[in-house]
Amino acid sequence: MTRPRNVIGKPRRRVDGRAKVTGQTKFADDIILPRMLHCKLLRSTVPHAKIVRIDTSKAAAVDGVSLVLTGESFPIPYGILPVSHDEHALCPDVVRFVGDPVAAVVARDEATADRAVRLIEVEYETLRTFASPADSLAYPEPRIHDYGDFGNVHKAVALQFGDVDAAIAGADHVFDDTFFFEGNTHLPIEQHATVATKDPDGKLVVYSSTQTPHYLHRALSKALAIPAAHIRVVATPNGGGFGGKSDPFNHEVVVAHAAMRLDRPVKIALTREEVFYCHRGRHPVLMRFRAGVTNDGRVTGLDLQTLLDGGAYGSYGVASTFYTGALQTVTYDIPTYRFRGCRVFTNKPPCGPKRGHGTPQSRFGQEVQLDKIAEKLVIDPADLRLNIVQPPDSLTANFLRVGTIGLADCITKVVERSGWRDKYRKLPHGRGVGLACSSYLSGAGLPINWNDLPHSGVQLKLDRSGGVTVFCGATEIGQGSDDVLVGIVAEVLGIEPFDVRAVTGDTDLTPVDLGSYSSRVTLMMGNAAIQAAERARELIAEGVSAKLDIPKSRLVFADRRVFDSEDPGKGTSFREAVCMAEAKFGTLGTTGSYTPPKSPAKFKGGGVGPSPTYSYTACVVEVDVDPETGWVTVPRVWIAHDIGCALNPVLVRGQVEGGVYMGIGEALMEEQAFRRLPAKLSHALVHKFPSILEYKSPTFLDMPEVFTDLIEHPDPAGPFGAKEVGQGPLLPIMPAVANAVYDAVGVRIDSIPVTPEKILRALEAKAAGKAPRSGPASFPEIPWPETLHVTPPWAGGDGRADNDPKRPTHRKVDAGIEAKAAGMTKEARS
């Protein structure tokens, strides 16, 4: 039944396009319910303190105030990861950063709530301010949290795959570089908002700008001690997410509680400043890369250390820590590898997942180091990379299963399109080009709450109207998930996207999808949708086949008809076809679900990194640097992305260009920076500029021209062969900018963002005969835990740690792995 596609692969208007351009998309703050009250939070004005006393009497006395809440009402902690349920909706006893919520007021309108919340008096007993990882490593006490690995270290991990020390020692060259990547934040234009209400039956309903209604559902159930079956979470379309709306947030829990208590709808809409306090953005990461390299530019071993400034709470931090070390091997062939990562708590808004989650920082370090290697070995950086691209259908040293790889094609494409060979090291002083690559997951292979349940479920309802409704818990955050869902169903059933109605992100109505994170939706929801739609097609085909006496195998679904492939005139309308099936089988409904394949990584920490398949990207960035001032402009970016199959090329291009945009912002200007006032005078540690004016994000005028190419080799793991595109294309931009600056003026900026100040400082250092570089001088000594030793697959490893105390006595080596490893040993290990 193969036939040309009608929907998939064709550029078309997204299904929610009309709503968005007419102002009809209902974001959370657009919801107005009768008798609705409004909530404001009081947030801590001190970075670290015990709460001694809270006096809410003046606020409660304000006319129009319905409810004042403090931490007493929220005794149960919650959090996104099961290992770090360390948040309370309102702080019960300790505040951990400026912006930590302490109390809440619910009143008849926001202005009244705003007036009243300012009347709450809080007395604090200050504790030591931890402003940086250096503080947190130096002072184990007082502990910001009473859990974590030790002192103020939240998590420290050490993994080794093969004898990396010997591999580096035996290499022709050793490169040892430190890098720093400053934190930055998502800055969605929509500020978080939530409306909670008690439905007529007395159950809780929460509408929220969340990327993860399923996890919010779980968190509300736990924090409020209400059975999940009695809570409905509706994810409203997000006005931008980028990872920033993936945690359950204080304000969501607070208004849910208030609505149940008052039996009235309660809304909260955060201010921009509060969004900076919600954060969960990019961790500031200090990194050290030690790599052994052969004369021809092959990496023999990589020893990576990362230090993450986690901020005040756990959030996704344990996963973020592992992610800083997970994907190096997925991109390039690295036979031996050691990764050690450490996340510390500090008194700042918590960091978490931002587009690329934990991987952009070490991607930056790796790609800049490769540029340095290419320079030293006098190899073109494009050729250097082409030579070490990880082979397809392979297992990496850390047991990540790689499927299709379009990276070589991506590199070749951007090299051609950008005129790289005529530009690299050939442009006049002040102009330069830089190249970098990346890879990213198409969905996390493991759920946050480990279980054997599907990651995505889709239901389909069809009836005699000919209408098709598709239900899925996936969340539209702007990326086009509704469009993917509808497009796939329409394609399989041979109807138009307009014939399909999508109901998404509603825990009452839709089967669970884990949420819009880890670039998982297209692949996982897409596969589930194909399954549901194919099952529906099967039922319809049986109905039509029986009724019209056409062999099922000859039936074609296209053009809103079901017909005989050998006699296209013989057939019926889709609507009639559904009726035939309904008559035959009764009420029609099908389901589909998707669970990723099991990962061969069985060691502790191996849960972060596996994915059904990985996307690949390569880019060339052109820069113009003023050697007098360091002023840098980026006129052009060429980018090629291995998408597998572009389901809707309009949306795919938008994701690529949006990723480039965010990458340019991170590369040049975006910083979630803080001010520590002089310790002699003050305990204060504040966000330097929690405003959309001073947190610099590129405008129309700061955006380079982008030339996008899509590389389409369908991947068997993806729906119609599709891989992710939401995150990967951001990753290579930052290192490519830094590499281009080096090409332009001969200085290394080993720290993100690449600012004119840093460039000028490096130029001045160069002129003074010092190292032509701006970046961190060293990586601190960290008391690492005992390293888990995992034998790589090519050396016969079985995916478990050799020194895992729970290791079975007899190794059971997967035959497939062994075969693959044997092949790889022959080909690649010399």
Name residues contacting another protein, limited to 445-484 (CB under 8 A).
477-480
The interface mask with another protein, positions 105-144, x = CB under 8 A, is ----xxx--x---x--------------------------
> Per-residue x/- mask for another protein, residues 320 to 359, rule CB under 8 A?
----------------------------------------
Do 750 and 775 meet the contact criterion of CB atoms below 8 Å apart?
Answer: yes
Which is nearer to another protein, 32 or 771 (by Cβ)?
32
Considering only residues 479 through 508, tell me which ones interact with another protein, judged by CB under 8 A. 479-480
Q: Between 52 and 169, name the residue whose CB sits nearer to another protein.
A: 52
User: Please, what is the minimum distance in Å from the beta carbon of residue 191 to another protein?
Assistant: 7
Binder among 127, 269, 500, 782 for another protein (CB under 8 A): 269
Minimum distance of another protein from residue 31's CB (angstroms) = 8
Report in angstroms how near the CB of residue 783 gets to another protein at its nearest. Answer: 33
Answer for which of 427, 689, 828, 829 binds another protein (CB under 8 A) is 689
Task: With CA atoms as reference, report the closest residue to 765 among 744, 748, 743.
Answer: 748
| Joined tokens for residue 349 | 């808004």
The residue behind tokens 């208004």 is 255
Closest of 642, 487, 495, 637 to residue 561, by C-alpha: 495
Look at the alpha carbons of 702, 707, 713, 714 in this order and tell me if their dihedral is positive or negative: positive
Contact 282, 226 (CB under 8 A): no
Considering only 33, 60, 62, 703, the residue that binds another protein (CB under 8 A) is 703
Shortest Å, Cβ 110 to another protein? 6
Of 688, 770, 811, 826, which lies in the binding site for another protein, with binding defined by CB under 8 A?
688
Q: Tokens 């180091």 map to which residue?
A: 369
Of 287, 400, 662, 752, the one binding another protein by CB under 8 A: 662
Q: Which of residues 746-765 bind another protein (CB under 8 A)?
A: 755-757, 760
Max CA-CA distance within the chain?
Answer: 89
Residue 461's SS3 state is strand
Among residues 10, 30, 226, 787, the one that binds another protein under rule CB under 8 A: 30
Answer for the pair 563, 633: CB distance below 8 angstroms, yes or no: no
Q: How far is the CB of 729 from another protein (least distance, A)?
A: 10
The upper half-sphere exposure of residue 159, i.e. CA atoms within 13 Å in the direction of its Cβ, equals 31
> Among residues 276 and 339, whose Cβ is nearest to another protein?
276
Name the strands in the sheet holding 49-55, side by side, starting at the edge strand that comes first in the sequence. Answer: 94-95, 49-55, 121-126
Q: Considering only 161-169, 447-455, 553-561, 702-710, which stretch makes contact with another protein by CB under 8 A?
A: 702-710
Strand, helix or coil at 449? coil
Which of these ranges, 343-351, 399-407, 548-556, 645-653, lies near another protein under the rule CB under 8 A? 645-653
Determine the interface stretch with another protein among 8-16, 285-293, 446-454, 810-818 (rule: CB under 8 A): 8-16
699 contributes a contact to another protein by CB under 8 A: yes
Instruction: Tell me if 807 contacts another protein by CB under 8 A.
Output: no
Cβ neighbors of 611 (< 8 A, separation 6 or more) are 400, 441, 442, 443, 444, 445, 518, 596
Q: Pick the closest to residue 133 from 272, 323, 307, 356 (CA basis).
A: 307
Q: Which is nearer to another protein, 696 or 807 (CB)?
A: 696
- Looking only at residues 68 through 87 of this chain, which bind another protein when binding is defined by CB under 8 A? none
The residue (of 269 and 541) whose beta carbon lies closer to another protein is 269
* Structure tokens that stand for 64 in this block: 């129009």
Among 284, 698, 775, 797, the residue binding another protein under the rule CB under 8 A is 698
Span from 257-265, 343-351, 649-657, 774-782 in contact with another protein (CB under 8 A): 649-657
Segment near another protein (CB under 8 A), from 170-178, 280-288, 517-525, 623-631? 623-631
The residues that bridge with 460 in the sheet, in sequence order, are 470, 590
Give the other-Cβ count within 10 Å of 783's Cβ. Answer: 11
Tokens for 97, please give them: 């950063």
Question: Under a CB-based contact definition with an 8 Å cutoff, are residues 745 and 430 in contact?
Answer: yes
Q: Which residue has tokens 């309370």? A: 88
Q: Which is nearer to another protein, 134 or 669 (CB)?
A: 669
**Cα 472 to the chain's mean position, in Å?**
20
The label of the residue with tokens 């093969």 reads 162
Among 686, 795, 813, 828, binds another protein (CB under 8 A): 686
Q: In the complex with another protein, which residue's Cβ is closer, 26 or 230?
A: 26
- Looking at 435-520, list the stretches that DSSP marks H as alpha helix, in order from N- to C-terminal side: 481-493
Give the up-direction half-sphere exposure of residue 756: CA atoms within 13 A in the CB hemisphere.
12
Of 329 and 346, which CB lies nearer to another protein in the complex structure? 346
Q: Rounded to the nearest 5°, which phi and psi values hold at 213?
A: -60, -35
Q: Which is nearer to another protein, 226 or 650 (CB)?
A: 650
Measured in whole angstroms, the distance separating CA 11 from the mean position of its chain's CA atoms is 26
List of residues 6+ apart from 37 with CB closer than 8 A: 66, 106, 107, 108, 258, 262, 264, 265, 266, 267
Cβ 627 to another protein shortest distance, Å: 11
Q: Identify the residue among 71, 213, 237, 353 touching another protein (CB under 8 A).
A: 237
Using CB under 8 A, pick the residue from 6, 7, 9, 14 that binds another protein. 14
Check residue 190 for interaction with another protein (CB under 8 A): yes
Shortest Cβ 722–another protein spacing (Å): 17
Could you give the CA distance from residue 680 to residue 771 in angstroms, rounded to a whole number?
Answer: 35
Selected from 349, 360, 630, 732, the binder of another protein by CB under 8 A is: 630
Site for another protein, residues 31 to 60, rule: CB under 8 A: 32, 43, 45-47
Give the interface size with another protein as a residue count (CB under 8 A).
95
> Side-chain half-sphere of 776: how many Cα atoms within 13 Å?
22
